[in-house]
Structure 1
Amino acid sequence: MEHRREAIRGVAGCLIALIGGAAGMLAWAPYGRRGIFGGFEGEAEWNVLWLGLPVMMLGGITAGVTLFALLWGKWRQALGAAVLLTALVGFGVAFDVLAGPPSTCGPVC
């Protein structure tokens, strides 16, 4: 019975990580569309793809793992995942990974 419970927990953890990654990708999509496919004079900002997408997907996966660890009462694992999530947020802010191309309308917008 214990093996079955561990197997169910493992499958649930993988599904939560998959859902977190998909949520991160969906959260990234508007920034990716704007950063890659349009901007001032057709200029693309590839950092949105090369940095933004991995950071958002890893952030979604890490958030899912954190919640999963909290639900199962694994406080040390949840704390470790929360530290990793904080580091990902810090990296994203420091490198402005979701910044698209400059605005075309200037300060009037």
Structure 2
Amino acid sequence: MENRREAIRGVAGCVVAAAGGATGMLTWAPYGRRGIFGGFEGESEWNVLWLGLPVMTLGGIAAAITLLALVRGKWRRALGAAVVLTALAGFGVAFDVLEGPPLACGPGC
């Protein structure tokens, strides 16, 4: 009976992590479309793909793991996942991974 309970917890953890990763990808999609398929004078910003997609996907997974650990009462695991999430957010801000191409300037600039 205990093995079955652990298996169910493991599957639930995998489902939550996959949902977090999918949420991160869906959150990234508008930035990816803007950065890769258009922009000022047709320039593409590939950093949005090479840096933004992994950061957003891993961030979604880390957020899901943090939430799952908090729900289960595993405070140390939640703190560790929150530290990873904070590091990913810091990396994203430092390298401006969702910046995209420069926007077209209006008249008078």
Answer yes or no: is 1:65 the counterpart of 2:33: no
Instruction: Output the CA distance in 2 between the equivalents of 1:94 and 1:69.
Output: 27
Instruction: Output the CA distance in 1 between the equivalents of 2:4 and 2:72.
Output: 16
TM-score, with structure 2 as normaliser: 0.96
Per the alignment, residue 6 of structure 1 pairs with 6
Per the alignment, residue 41 of structure 1 pairs with 41
Per the alignment, residue 29 of structure 2 pairs with 29
Instruction: Output the CA distance in 1 between the equivalents of 2:88 and 2:21.
Output: 14
Q: What percent of counterpart residues are identical?
A: 80
Q: CA deviation at 1:8?
A: 0.4
TM-score, with structure 1 as normaliser: 0.96
Tell me how large the CA RMSD over aligned residues is.
Answer: 1.2
| Deviation per residue, 1:49-89 (Å, 9 max, x gap) | 00000000000000000011111111100000000000000
Q: Which runs of 4+ in 1 moved over 4 A?
A: none
Structure 1: where are the runs of 5+ without partners?
none
Structure 2: where are the runs of 5+ without partners?
none
Q: CA deviation at 1:105?
A: 2.6
